[in-house]
Structure 1
């Protein structure tokens, strides 16, 4: 049974009624971020029930020493932890000496929480009867500013309902925080100073080992019935903590409110000696602007994002809520402003997985950012990998590769591999292919070739060298094989000749060789610079292509399908439909030994290859492979349903495509995998966007043109989206029997619709009947 307490709404995530069993899940679902920092939706006031406290700063991490039972050569030295940052949102509240704690109140009524995605804010309200029988009404609203991305803002209000009382508000900063997932219970932070001045307070701390300097700051102001008080406060502090205490006698019916601004300045962006002075200046500036005006700026900033990124769905509120939730969380996580950053799988919503970068970015996120932002954003994501090429070469050297072969990490913060599981670290090497595919995808979509001679070709050469060295010549098969790998299906470890891995290896080598020729012909100075740097000869390229031309792919004549790996047909092939539902999800019910011997597929594997390289296969081949593999797929990876939705749509199986779409779009909202309390699945959210645009909309780039094959689920009346294609914005509106196209720009655009060429003039509506 999936969770279903989130109310269906077009623009908001809404929870009504307080349930202690939902607190951790809601802390994930209602998370907020602004690309530079983020936080789980923890209560501002003290909460003594089960909770997962979490605030995070982009790019700030800790190298937690790897914990394994048996050390293997080449193993990553550390597992990079997304660091739980000092807490700035805290406000202790007491009424006549009793602390407000929702977990301990006699009664909680009218509890309502709302994450307004259209405007970018989080609110909460409830009435409470305390143990001392005082009745209060509480309202809070907070957001993390997009305009001032080092600052968040809170307004917290308490109204007395049944009597006069003494109300104490105590806003604080707390550096005494820990990570839930520490390997050794290490201390992650050193506090360097605790300061306060007027209504501002500052804690300067430094991460252990990595030595990131962070100033956590706050300022606060009290008002009664909207009238600001200029009052004395008491100050409490220790080595990790600073608190302001405001004491006021409040009459029944009156409302006392605290406005609190807070956030972080870091030495990633400022001189470490100036962190306090920068924080002071920023707090002063936002205080002068005020909460409401800052919120108005927030609404305008989000309106601008939605203007390009929104997808509308007419006739299906849950589907509409799902896609907007996904788009909202992606933009909260990464806005493309800082080329040093990437898109972590949990974003700012939890600590699981560690690291900030997986292959998810290249395989799933880049298409979303390509089409909904300026192409510079996607270019930044590619540049991120170029900047870490030296580390990728080091990673490969640790495993015995040479001559500039590059193996990009499965998980990283700074380019070094830091994944904790050996079967992933050493074996899930297909990630290398996704890096190369993203370069191809970027050029295909933008037609900007300049990235390849400037940066991309060096990356491609390092990757091609890796694949050449990783392949082994099999005399028995008279082919090159790739042994001991884990494909995208992580429920098979240490297998031979994973189809997807072998295919992407072949493709990478061919694509690299092709681009070496293009750069030599069209960019001779870049070609000379690169060849001098990497010491590449034509003879070496010939050795690569020999491997690519003779790559082995396991194939079953009986089934007429490529096999996921050599031994797949040796398994007991019982489909998911015949698996007892009480055994699901198998990753929580079965031993790893049992999973590895089973035929069950965590996510698209062979079908991932058919998704990336669909032009290499016929629709009939796709159908055969889809019908063979999907029945064994348990979709226990968040990255699985979107690929299957796109392929089902291509096959015209709209009911199945819709079911997969709903699963990917509401994966967290409905908690399909029973793990949302740990955080959201941020990177897979881009797959939700792909399910609509590439799946139902059928968007591709064919023959250097934007192409569509629009379809619509029967549950919908219409849907619409926008594509920024080569600096021209195309609006697409799909209805039951027709599709509208409208171009925003100055020059005409030729597109393909159902393989027919159509020329669209600027600001003219074109209708194509289906």
Structure 2
């Protein structure tokens, strides 16, 4: 049973009614971030019920020692993880000396949360009765500033409803925090300095091992009925915590407000010895501006993001809410200005997957950032991998590969492999292919081939070398085979000749050879530099060519489809529709042994290849493979429904495409996989964007020309989106029977619509 407590709304995520058992799920769904830091929607005040505390700083991580009972050569020594950072949001509330705790209140009424995605703020309000019988109304507004990405702000209102009382606010910062997912109960942080100055608090800490230095900071002001009250706070300092105590006597009906400013500065952006002064500077500017001005800045910053990134859907509020939630979370996680950062699968909403970089970025996220921002953001994501090429070569070397072959990690923070599951670390090598797919997508979409001679070709050569060495010649088949792998479908481990892996390996080699020729002809100096640096020879190229030309692909003559892997048809083929619903999700109900022997597919595997290389296959081939594999797919990976949605749209199966779209867009809001309490699925949210733009909008780049084949789900009145194609901003509006295009700027563009050329002039609406 999926959850259904989130109220449908086109611009907000809304929860009404207080249920302690869904607090952890809501902490994920109402998370906020600004690209540089983020936090789960934990209560500011004390809460003794089930909760998952989480505040995170982009790029700050810890190498937690891998926990396995055995060891093999090449096994990663640690699992990189984003760290729960010092907590700056805490505000204890005491009423007549008693600590306020929602979990202990005798009654909670009118509880409401709202995450306003249009304006970028989170609000929580309720009326509660304390065990001592005092009724109070509370409203808390919180945001992390996009305009000032080291700063967050909180406005905490308390109104006494049935009696006078002494109200005490105790804002604090605390560096004595732990991770939910610690392997060895280790401490990840060491507190270096706890200090106060002019009613401001500062805690400087460093991460152990990685030595990131951060200063968490805070400053607060108290208001009565909207007027600033000059209350002198008493301060309490501990080894790892600072709190200030503000006490006011309040009468029934009076509103007491604490405004708190806080956040983090790190040595990624400041000198270590200047962290406290940098934090003080952030606070000085924040207090000088004031909460309301900062909130208006926030609204304006989000307005600019939405101006380009929004997808509007008319006639389906749940679909609209779903896509905006996805776009909002993607922008909260990564804004593209810092090439040192990347997109973790949970963003800032939880600790699962360690907050590290996966192949998801290249396979799913780059198209979203490329089209809704501009090409330098996508270039930053590609540069992230170029900067880690030496580490990728080192990773391959540990596994026995030579001559500069590179294996990009499945999971990383700094380029080293840090995934701690054998079948994924060593076998899920298809991730190497996604690196090259991302480069091709970037070049096709932006027209910027210069990335390849500047940086991309070195990455591509190292990856091609890996594929050539990883394939081995089978005398029995007179073909090259790739043995002992796991494809994107992680419900088949250690298989031979996974079709997707073999196909992407062949394609990577061929694309690299073609790129080398292009660079030789057009960028001869770069060509000579790269050949000298890599030592690539004609003999080696010939070995690559042989592997690509003689790659083996398992195929069933009976079903006329490529097979997931050599022995797929040895399995008992029973469609998912015949599975007892009580057995789902199988990853939570079945043993791993049983899953591996079953025919069930976690996510698109063969179909993932058909998605990436759509123009390599006919419509008939796509239909045949979709009809064979989709009925066997349980979609227990967040990355699965979006690919199926796009392909169902290509096949004109709009009801099915819509069903998959709704599943990917509301995966977390409706908690399809019963795990949202661990965090949201950020990287798959980019797939949701693709479901609309590439699926329903039919957007492709065909021979250097932008192309659309628009379709609309039943019941939708219209949908629209914008894309930045080669610095031209095109708006597309699709309605039943009619699609219109408008163009910003000064230069016309010629596009294809259902295969026919259409010229769009600036500031002129073109209807097709």
| Distance (Å, rounded) in 2 between the aligned partners of 1:324 and 1:420 | 34
Aligned to 1:273: 273
Contact 1:150 1:264 in 2 (8 A): yes
SS of aligned partner of 2:111: strand
Note the 1:137-156 alignment, pairs <5 A: 137-156=137-156
Question: 1:356: how far off?
Answer: 2.2
Aligned to 2:705: 705
Q: Which runs of 4+ in 1 moved over 6 A?
A: none
1:589 paired to 2:589: yes
Note the 1:113-262 alignment, pairs <5 A: 113-262=113-262
1:502 paired to 2:486: no
Note the 1:8-47 alignment, pairs <5 A: 8-47=8-47
Aligned to 1:563: 563
| Distance (Å, rounded) in 2 between the aligned partners of 1:10 and 1:660 | 20
Contact 1:355 1:412 in 2 (8 A): no
Contact 2:731 2:742 in 1 (8 A): yes
| Distance (Å, rounded) in 1 between the aligned partners of 2:4 and 2:355 | 31
* Count of residue correspondences: 768
SS of aligned partner of 2:181: coil
Aligned to 1:642: 642
Question: 1:715: how far off?
Answer: 2.0
Aligned to 2:606: 606
Contact 1:174 1:240 in 2 (8 A): yes
Aligned to 2:70: 70
- Per the normalisation by structure 1, the TM-score is 0.99
Aligned to 1:758: 758
| Distance (Å, rounded) in 1 between the aligned partners of 2:621 and 2:455 | 36
- Per the normalisation by structure 2, the TM-score is 1.00
SS of aligned partner of 1:184: coil
Note the 1:296-445 alignment, pairs <5 A: 296-445=296-445
| Distance (Å, rounded) in 2 between the aligned partners of 1:355 and 1:14 | 26
Question: 1:438: how far off?
Answer: 0.3
SS of aligned partner of 1:358: coil
| Distance (Å, rounded) in 2 between the aligned partners of 1:170 and 1:30 | 24
1:455 paired to 2:491: no
SS of aligned partner of 2:125: strand
Note the 1:419-568 alignment, pairs <5 A: 419-568=419-568
SS of aligned partner of 2:353: coil
Question: 1:236: how far off?
Answer: 1.0
Contact 1:404 1:534 in 2 (8 A): yes
Question: 1:496: how far off?
Answer: 0.3
| Distance (Å, rounded) in 1 between the aligned partners of 2:439 and 2:445 | 10
| Distance (Å, rounded) in 2 between the aligned partners of 1:453 and 1:493 | 37
SS of aligned partner of 1:103: helix
Note the 1:88-99 alignment, pairs <5 A: 88-99=88-99
Contact 1:82 1:354 in 2 (8 A): yes
Question: 1:529: how far off?
Answer: 1.0
Question: 1:632: how far off?
Answer: 0.3
Question: 1:355: how far off?
Answer: 4.2
| Distance (Å, rounded) in 1 between the aligned partners of 2:660 and 2:69 | 39
| Distance (Å, rounded) in 1 between the aligned partners of 2:155 and 2:135 | 20
Question: 1:631: how far off?
Answer: 0.4
Contact 2:347 2:355 in 1 (8 A): no
Query: 1:537-579: per-residue Cα shift (whole Å, max 9, x none)?
Result: 1111111010000000000011000000000000010110001
Contact 1:355 1:411 in 2 (8 A): no
Question: 1:521: how far off?
Answer: 1.0
| Distance (Å, rounded) in 2 between the aligned partners of 1:376 and 1:356 | 22
Query: 1:435-463: per-residue Cα shift (whole Å, max 9, x none)?
Result: 00000000000000110000000000000
Structure 1: 5+ residue stretches without partners: none
Question: 1:415: how far off?
Answer: 0.2
Aligned to 2:572: 572
Aligned to 1:664: 664
Contact 1:355 1:418 in 2 (8 A): no
Question: 1:32: how far off?
Answer: 0.1
Aligned to 2:55: 55
Query: 1:49-100: per-residue Cα shift (whole Å, max 9, x none)?
Result: 0000000000000000000121111100000011000000000000011111
Contact 1:199 1:221 in 2 (8 A): no
| Distance (Å, rounded) in 2 between the aligned partners of 1:368 and 1:355 | 19
Contact 2:96 2:166 in 1 (8 A): yes
Contact 1:308 1:373 in 2 (8 A): yes
SS of aligned partner of 2:603: coil
